[in-house]
Structure formats: C-alpha cells, structure tokens
Amino acid sequence: MPKLCKFTSPADGKPVYVNPLQVSVVYTFKGEPPDTIIAFGKDFMLGVAESLEETIGRLDKAIAGEAP
C-alpha cells in the first residue's frame, strides 16, 4: 500500500496529505503564478504549492513504495 504524499497548501502553507491511489488527474491551472491542481474524480480538486513536476514525482514514488 502506498504512503500518503505530503504537499503544501498555497493558501496558508499548512501541510495536506494525499492518497496517491485516489488521484485521477494532476494539471497546471494558468495564473500568475500557475497553480498545480490535484483532482480526485470529477467533484473534488485540491490546489498545492508544489510544481507540476514535483507533484507527479512524489505521487509516482509513493505508488512505487519508495521513501519520500
């Protein structure tokens, strides 16, 4: 079972934890600066402060069972 991935909330800088098996898509929402969005199904989206590449890397490592 993969570990939870720790990300940072862009609004308040507090940690948020994500189960990588529940993620359906990760994308960048255009803005200044662009936001990284993690979507779970079609009804819930979470913005994180990390870049798109860093977010995907953390999720991939967690699914593979590697330590963060």
The domain locations on the chain are 5-64
Architecture in CATH of 5-64:
Beta Barrel (2.40)
CA 2 to chain CA centroid, Å, is 14
Rounded mean pLDDT, 16-43: 90
Residue appearing with tokens 């402060």: 49
Give the whole-angstrom CA distance, residue 13 versus residue 11. 6
Question: How many Cβ atoms sit within 10 Å of the Cβ of residue 49?
Answer: 16
User: Taking the model in full, what pTM does it have?
Assistant: 0.84
pLDDT of 41: 83
Q: Is the pLDDT of residue 68 over 60?
A: no
